[in-house]
Amino acid sequence: MSLIRESLHLRVPFRDIEIATKNFTTIIGKGGYGFVYKGDLLLSNKLTSVAVKRLENGLGQGLKEFLTEIQMLSHYKHPNLVSLLGYCEEGHEKILIYEYAERGSLDRYLSKANSMFPLPWKQRINVCIDAARGLDYLHNHVAENQRVIHRDIKSANILLDHNWKAMIADLGLSKLGRANEIDTYLVTNACGTQGYCDPVYIETGILTKESDIYSFGVVLFEVLCGRLGFMKVNNESRFLAPLARSCYEKGTLNDIIDLDLKNQVDSNSLNTVSEIAYQCLKNDRKQRPSMSLVVEKLVRALELQELAEASESQVLQKKNQRNNNENIWPYNQKKEKASGFTLVDLEMDLHCVGCARKVIKEICNFKGVESVGVMDLELKKLTVSSTLDPVYLRQKVEKKTKKKVNRIFPSPKTTSDGRRWHIPTQMGKKVNRGYLWCSCV
């Protein structure tokens, strides 16, 4: 076979694979092709974690898929396509060796029954962007006048590495076709996975790149809804695509959106993803978007989410600043005087009368302070009348007294002239109502 001869540099001895997989005991999955095993294989003098897919029967459709994967993945390379690291063809053994995707396939994180934890919205968008870029490469960038149509796009065929980078996998059913022509299609026996396959392709047998786009639309709705495209419930087949399309048209999509997303997703970001997903499922293939447009819309959805989160973060930051009394004052936070005298309460750790006297004595030395007093020792409040900017006053008090000001706020005892509680008396002398007070000017 000329194809095999062209790829001899990828050939791996069967015995090495047996050792790497501990005699094929490290099963991590199973598909229509056969079992998949995890292994550690010495490649280019480096021990590498790999996924090993072993063909159960070397004849028939399995052999064709084996050869197709070698053809596609040995020629076409992209960060969002799974890498073929090697293969084995010895006797009846037909084995493919891929880079190991540590986090498995996307479908594991969408099904409520299987998901270990729900993926956050931004992570879901990033996964979709990666997968869309991989598919866009196959459709539009493999060669000048060629394209690859995958034919089996689904969440189970989107693999995730340890950094959550998504990669398109399982190209065994893919077809190589012409590109950049007015009418580009292939007539084949329809194949793929139930619930993901383009209905037009099933009905007519005519395959175009838009068939992949339909399947990708199903994946987008899987991500939005947190459920798989096809499920068996009480021996009844349930398909997500017609349900999602119907809900979108009726304006009731919110009824089937994943509950885990509702408190974290920005509405504009959600609408952008749902709109492009709906367009992918259009019955008229001409109305379906290109994968390059899908990538563009998903990137925009991510930007909208990040913008919303940044705005929310700013609001929270301002709220926290207000709670810390950093921004409640109608003055610039500079070392400048406020107009007239301002009466403010400082909440500090004042343990006793002696402690309060020491703090009052220090504050009395501040230029611009008119009077200082302990208005309520039990509440640990100290009241200052001054011409200083309150924020600057707080900073200076903490620096000079070495005590933290827990809060600073306008004194509720302030009247229109701001000086009702200015009670001139000597430092430390008890006056009416039991207050300690000091007049500084």
Q: What distance in Å separates the CA atoms of residue 278 and residue 245, rounded to the nearest whole number?
A: 6
Asked whether residue 152 falls in the same domain as residue 59, the answer is no
Q: What distance in Å separates the CA atoms of residue 21 and residue 36, rounded to the nearest whole number?
A: 10
What does pTM read for this prediction?
Answer: 0.70
In a domain, 152, yes or no: yes
Range of 8's domain?
Answer: 2-99
Asked whether residue 146 falls in the same domain as residue 246, the answer is yes
The phi and psi torsions of 384 (rounded to 5 degrees) equal -125, 130
Per-residue pLDDT of the chain (441 residues; tens, 9 = 90+): 555 566 778 899 999 999 999 999 999 988 777 899 999 998 888 899 999 999 886 445 577 888 889 989 988 999 999 999 999 999 889 999 999 999 999 999 987 665 556 789 999 999 999 999 999 999 999 888 889 999 999 999 999 999 999 999 999 889 888 775 545 656 666 677 889 999 999 999 999 999 999 999 999 999 999 999 987 666 777 899 999 999 999 999 999 999 888 888 999 999 999 999 999 999 999 999 999 999 999 999 999 999 988 887 666 666 666 555 444 444 333 333 444 677 888 888 777 777 778 888 888 888 888 888 765 555 577 888 888 888 888 888 888 888 888 888 777 654 434 333 333 333 333 333 334 444 443
Q: What distance in Å separates the CA atoms of residue 252 and residue 116, rounded to the nearest whole number?
A: 28
Which of 356, 365, 354, 346 lies closest to 405, judged by CA?
346
Q: State the catalytic residues.
A: 152
Q: End of a domain among 307, 328, 363?
A: 307
What is the count of structural domains for the chain?
3
In a domain, 43, yes or no: yes
Binding residues: 53
In a domain, 332, yes or no: no
Q: What is the pLDDT of residues 140-160, one digit of tens each?
A: 998 888 899 999 999 999 999
In a domain, 315, yes or no: no
Asked whether residue 194 falls in the same domain as residue 267, the answer is yes
Element (H, E) at 99: strand 93-99
Residue at token pair 């343990």: 351
Binding residues for ATP: 53
Asked whether residue 130 falls in the same domain as residue 254, the answer is yes
Asked whether residue 376 falls in the same domain as residue 227, the answer is no
Q: β-strand 337-348 against 230-233: which pairing, if any?
A: unpaired
Q: Give the pair of three-digit tokens for residue 405.
A: 């000001």
Asked whether residue 284 falls in the same domain as residue 230, the answer is yes
Asked whether residue 342 falls in the same domain as residue 377, the answer is yes
Q: What is the pLDDT of residues 270-300, one digit of tens each?
A: 999 999 999 999 999 999 999 999 999 999 9
Asked whether residue 267 falls in the same domain as residue 160, the answer is yes
Amino acid of residue 35: F
